[in-house]
Structure 1
């Protein structure tokens, strides 16, 4: 039994899957939860060594399971969350926690690039494809420049949590093109660090890792790992992989034109795969590298927009607004007709990334009427999340063409009611992925391409499984088109 491992270093969990290409089955898997620290309001951090410890534990568990079945691990692909940053010293010891994407301490630095330094901000966006927001390392490093310049300059390296893990595994400081394009510091066309961005951030190029393609292969060189890992990966190539967003698109089977991926977990994202980079005239969409510089395949970029407001809105409705169980809330919403009798909800409970890119914006109900009861407020909230994603999709479609089908995953997919609402609002079929572990699966598929087991990423997606397809209701879609027009006019 030959296997490929997919490692997914997320914000809430670390996961490892073992995939058997011959059968197309996941033969072993393990995960562990991660703790996010909030030392001050607006801060979000994780301890790098805690992430490493949990990864070692789940990797050891999967290696043991594969060994018990006399399996052979041929390759490992790695997926990781984007936008984290931490400092290390000359020995590789962390000098800070990893500052996560959800950390908003750099609001002023991001605002500066949109206002008094707008020309520089536009230039950086055009070069990097990264929207200007407190989440990106560019702004976080600028925060250190303004609050602790000596420390910024004294640190030997400024790296992401993925680079920290890669260094622990291979002994090298390297960053894949995909993670690099999400920093706001990387010239995605030149495949190098962008000097004006580094100057704004206050870092030197020698403090940053070596950029490498997402198919780059390394070797395990950590003598302190458990025997199960050392023996299990003795003959395996370690492929550096890409970011979770890019690999989630690949793992969702969304590599060809007309396929849009929507993921709704606590937050959410809408993404398309493109053979060229994208630049939105207003800087609202990201454009990250999935796979380039590969003479055996096409260049691929993952383009789209993330939202802060996904299933956390349902959580708010359940816990704060109705104080009811989620299942009861969803059942109550189903008693109201599509459009919630003209009640609108702007779902910006935690600021917003796409399409507004405004950390200070907040949500609201509009058109509140005497006839509206609790069920209306619930349904309008669920519709508002999808209307916001539709707004991003309309901007995206201007650059990449219309959506023909949606591949959907994430926690929201457990609700048939909410998935059907998505089909009705977007007016296209919605296919559910068989597995919600699209990031780890994407890492496996990219590793298969890098190892030569498939000839292209399109061929790799043939290994992706699907569940039910939800068809849109024409009458509901007609009604939603009218409601959406009012939603769009109400956007700040």
Structure 2
């Protein structure tokens, strides 16, 4: 009789990842499919739901085929990126493209709401920062700029909800995804009346909220049965990629902070009660009943490295870019940027600036600087920005004992060493596969009763560890202070945050 495995699915911003793990948590199969994103001149960042769905089904089919005969799939967990919004009609057919977290069309609406007392109250009730990334602000934009869409749509859903509907014919949203919309009342676990009234959406235009441990079976999904999955396989609705990345690396207490640097960047800490912080606008998202993840999201991740390197080098195909950038990142570990600074805000910024109009710049470029120096400065700017976010979280949770690192950019060893030196905290690198898809698999096993929260932790995991160098830490702290002052001098912060910094 074959062993039992668990499949974890993660629908990210730029790719779909599907992983299968055995009963010991060891990876036995993995497949990734890249998905496109379209940027518009008006600040839009969109994806086509059918293309994303086909990528999910393709990756899932590869993994199911790969484990067939060796493993029976016991359960499937589901993770997805936050903040996407898709308008659909009564049949579930898309009426629009899906707007992703990078979409900035609602920046005027979010700035106006945050300057109003209702904005701070909405943030306090929902735990979701007031920012163009959120579903709430995108709906507010529609209310003002495209009211016909607000009235025409039967539902407004995330890409994850739409895929779930394609599988099971039900409009359901997990509490974790709901808590990222800006429309969910964290303390009552319901849609928030104030938020709904502010954006103009009707409660029936939103999905039914279910726990992150909610499960159904493949038997209720003809399309999943057609992949060759057993009818009794449990399918867990799961949570969002951010909170599941914490679970995936075993960071389920405040002693461990997680940093993920993929397309974007986020820092997260798991706590046992909801919390907000008006000055830093830290997020508070649900992981499970009595478990929340607070943190700060940043636009400054891999997208800044890729875009800024492309702008410097230019004239490369996608294939050439991938090869050349990887080589350049390795070479950047051997150069010293000196006084060179980079403000990596090529995609605007969420935390800590909360300014969608923030832009990128290199400061201190000298004659001897080559593209590799500029590239390293981008990476250092990303790490300084992340540390700025972390200092706000330290005020809420205290300084953690370790920093758990995951994500594509942190696969590079010198970047992890620099991360430890900047933060002054030991960095442990998670290299057991995609953290969010692993977290999805782990939550599915919790939901199915195959493991408990007490089984989780980092003590039994062997990780690559980088201890900070005290001398380099002090040097980076000095450069970090210059970084902050330069950001302020360039006017990249919102006025509210500028005031909060006491300037």
In structure 2, how many angstroms separate the alpha carbons of the residues matched to 1:347 and 1:132?
22
In structure 1, how many angstroms separate the alpha carbons of the residues matched to 2:371 and 2:28?
45
CA separation of 1:276/1:152 partners in 2, compared to 1, >3 Å: closer, same or farther? same
Q: Is contact 1:43-1:105 (8 Å) kept?
A: yes
Residue from 127, 142, 146 that aligns with 1:129: 127
Q: Is contact 2:402-2:428 (8 Å) kept?
A: yes
Aligned to 1:262: 259
Deviation string for 1:151-182 (max 9, x for gaps)?
21221111111111111222211111100010
Aligned to 1:489: 485
Give the drift of 1:188.
0.8
Give the drift of 1:434.
2.0
In structure 2, how many angstroms separate the alpha carbons of the residues matched to 1:389 and 1:104?
21
Give SS of 1:276's match. coil
Aligned to 2:379: 382
Give the drift of 1:314.
2.8
Give the drift of 1:344.
2.4
Q: Is contact 1:170-1:219 (8 Å) kept?
A: no
Deviation string for 1:308-346 (max 9, x for gaps)?
112233324533335693355345544444xx3333222
Between 1:104-113 and 1:172-181, the stretch displaced more is 104-113
Aligned to 1:362: 359
CA separation of 1:309/1:78 partners in 2, compared to 1, >3 Å: closer, same or farther? same
Aligned to 2:216: 218
Aligned to 1:296: none
Q: Is contact 2:308-2:346 (8 Å) kept?
A: no
Give the drift of 1:67.
2.4
Give the drift of 1:450.
1.3
Aligned to 1:154: 152
In structure 2, how many angstroms separate the alpha carbons of the residues matched to 1:143 and 1:372?
43
Aligned to 2:106: 106
Q: How many residues are paired up?
A: 478
Give the drift of 1:63.
2.1
Aligned to 2:497: none
Counterparts of residues 80-119 of structure 1 (less than 5 Å): 80-115=80-115, 118-119=116-117
Aligned to 1:413: 410
In structure 2, how many angstroms separate the alpha carbons of the residues matched to 1:91 and 1:451?
31
Q: Is contact 2:179-2:185 (8 Å) kept?
A: yes
In structure 1, how many angstroms separate the alpha carbons of the residues matched to 2:253 and 2:410?
22
Give the drift of 1:486.
2.1
Between 1:140-149 and 1:27-36, the stretch displaced more is 27-36
Q: Are residues 1:478 and 2:474 paired? A: yes
Aligned to 2:19: 17
In structure 1, how many angstroms separate the alpha carbons of the residues matched to 2:376 and 2:52?
38
Residue from 333, 340, 344 that aligns with 2:341: 344
Between 1:51-60 and 1:2-11, the stretch displaced more is 51-60
CA separation of 1:436/1:307 partners in 2, compared to 1, >3 Å: closer, same or farther? farther
Q: Is contact 1:289-1:301 (8 Å) kept?
A: yes
Give the drift of 1:58.
2.2
In structure 1, how many angstroms separate the alpha carbons of the residues matched to 2:80 and 2:268?
17
Query: Structure 1 stretches of 5 or more lacking a match?
Result: 293-298
CA separation of 1:375/1:166 partners in 2, compared to 1, >3 Å: closer, same or farther? closer
Residue from 465, 469, 475 that aligns with 1:469: 465
Aligned to 1:189: 187
Give SS of 1:73's match. strand
Give the drift of 1:472.
1.2
TM-score, structure 1 normalization: 0.91
Aligned to 1:295: none
Aligned to 1:245: 242
Aligned to 1:326: 325
In structure 1, how many angstroms separate the alpha carbons of the residues matched to 2:217 and 2:431?
32
Give the drift of 1:463.
10
Aligned to 1:75: 75
Give SS of 2:121's match. helix
Give the drift of 1:380.
2.9
Give the drift of 1:290.
0.5
Q: Are residues 1:391 and 2:396 paired? A: no
CA separation of 1:192/1:381 partners in 2, compared to 1, >3 Å: closer, same or farther? same
In structure 2, how many angstroms separate the alpha carbons of the residues matched to 1:350 and 1:48?
23
In structure 2, how many angstroms separate the alpha carbons of the residues matched to 1:312 and 1:225?
34
Give the drift of 1:198.
0.9
TM-score, structure 2 normalization: 0.89
Q: Is contact 1:354-1:392 (8 Å) kept?
A: yes
In structure 1, how many angstroms separate the alpha carbons of the residues matched to 2:30 and 2:374?
40
Root-mean-square deviation (CA), in Å?
2.2
Q: Is contact 1:251-1:461 (8 Å) kept?
A: no
Q: Is contact 1:448-1:460 (8 Å) kept?
A: no
Q: Is contact 2:333-2:415 (8 Å) kept?
A: no
Q: Is contact 1:216-1:241 (8 Å) kept?
A: yes
Give the drift of 1:110.
1.0
In structure 2, how many angstroms separate the alpha carbons of the residues matched to 1:369 and 1:17?
46
Give the drift of 1:475.
1.2
Residue from 294, 301, 313 that aligns with 2:304: 313
Give SS of 2:446's match. helix
In structure 2, how many angstroms separate the alpha carbons of the residues matched to 1:12 and 1:327?
18
